[in-house]
Amino acid sequence: MPFAPSKKKSKRSKIVVGTVTLTSMMDMFTAILFFLLASYSAQGDILTVDPRFKLPMSTATQPPRLRLIVQATPDDIMVEGRRVSGVKEALREGGFLIKPLFDELNEQAKKSEFIAAKNKAVKFTGETVIQGDKTIPFALLERIMFTCGQAGYNTISLAVTSRGE
């Protein structure tokens, strides 16, 4: 005959000491940490992109360099963050030259040349990068490019969001 279950045992309160299992959380954290470290870039971002406009996606991976920035949102044209002209006015004008942009670029070129004359380490290279919203028409891009070329900025790059690795 089996023993009768002890009465004491059934009355004994079952206190379970609550320890949280941290191992799985540790696993998760380690995975996240490695992922973040892998996608971490120590060099930072030279181009700061205005949240008002979206750059197009591209497979290009060439990193940006420090250059004169011309921005084109659906409404405004800006040089180094300062508005110089509206898009509508720019497109309404006949011809390819956007006058206010041209004046501003000339001003910037003069500044750079002035600095280059005083400081041998600095050279005026005529490099500019165009940050355009992805909705702007080619006609506008073309006009901006033409104006840049006229103002002495012959090396033009287009800024994009890299989808590549």
Give 42's Cβ-side CA count (13 Å radius).
Answer: 1
Shortest Cβ 61–other proteins spacing (Å)? 6
Shortest Cβ 56–other proteins spacing (Å)? 4
Of the pair 21, 119, the CB lying nearest other proteins is at 21
Q: What is the 3-state secondary structure (H, E, C) of 42-91?
A: CCCCCCCCCCCCCCCEECCCCCCCCCEEEEECCCEEEECCEEEEEHHHHH
Of the pair 79, 87, the CB lying nearest other proteins is at 87
Shortest Cβ 74–other proteins spacing (Å)? 10
Task: Enter the tokens of residue 15.
Answer: 């206190």
Binding residues for other proteins, rule: CB under 8 A, are: 1-3, 22-23, 25-26, 29-30, 32-33, 36-37, 39-41, 44-45, 47, 49, 55-65, 96, 129, 132-139, 141-142, 145-146, 149, 154-162, 164
Give 31's Cβ-side CA count (13 Å radius).
Answer: 6
Identify the H or E element spanning 114.
helix 99-118
Of the pair 119, 165, the CB lying nearest other proteins is at 165
Shortest Cβ 12–other proteins spacing (Å)? 11
CB 155 within 8 A of CB 127: yes
Of the pair 23, 119, the CB lying nearest other proteins is at 23
